[in-house]
Amino acid sequence: MLKRFAIPRIGGAALLALSLTTPLAAQDEGEAAQPEQAYATTDVVLQTTMGEIVIALETERAPITAGNFLRYVEEDRFDGTVFYRAMHMDWGDQPNGLIQGGTQWDPERILPGIEHEPTTLTGLSHTRGALSMAMGEPGTANGDFSIMLGDQTGLDANPESDDPVWQNGYAVFGYVIDGMDVVEAIHAAPIDPEKGEGWMQGQMLADPVEIVEARVVEETADE
């Protein structure tokens, strides 16, 4: 069973209104923009078969969600899992969309679902390089996550929405600080048009990219 990470659609047209998808700030082409104010973070490296992705987990602003991800890392629950999905969006700066990976509901790997931390609470947003938890509904997120290729701020919580799903949005808990070229390479990998179920058909990688190891970056004395 795969947790969803859906872009809402109405009548076949994307629901992401311009007011929700306008980039929050200009970003360098190579990496995600970093917050101006310093908050406590913990760096994690995802060593994949296509290269390393370095993540700053927002342990201060999203302690529940970042702490959950960190537990998966420290207990080696991500080692040997894969990035299996690449969603492509044909609007905005290219490449655009997201990649998704994680435990894929493996009963030997998953932990209980966690309390939802909406972006209205954390102050984080689905901008380029953001990591966000996949889930069916609030409280079900566990070991699957996505990385944004471009700004997808329509996935943020929107209290004014008539839909409870989008009132809550998805939970951002970190940002890629190095290795967006690897994220883009995974996103560009071939898709198997026959794989996937329902609206996810045509978004699954023909050859999933393995997360060989996930590890915490240890600070040095100088740092």
Q: List, for residues 14-40, the tens digit of each pLDDT value.
A: 333 222 332 333 334 445 555 567 899
Nearest to 178 by CA among 50, 30, 62: 30
Q: Is residue 34 within 8 Å of 195, Cβ to Cβ?
A: no
CATH number of the structural domain 39-216: 2.40.100.10
Its pTM stands at 0.84
Domain boundaries, the chain: 39-216
CA distances from 138 to 127, 148, 195 (A): 21, 20, 27
Q: How far apart are CA 218 and CA 223, in angstroms?
A: 10
According to DSSP, residue 198 is labeled: G
- pLDDT tens digits along 60-89: 999 999 999 999 999 999 999 999 999 999
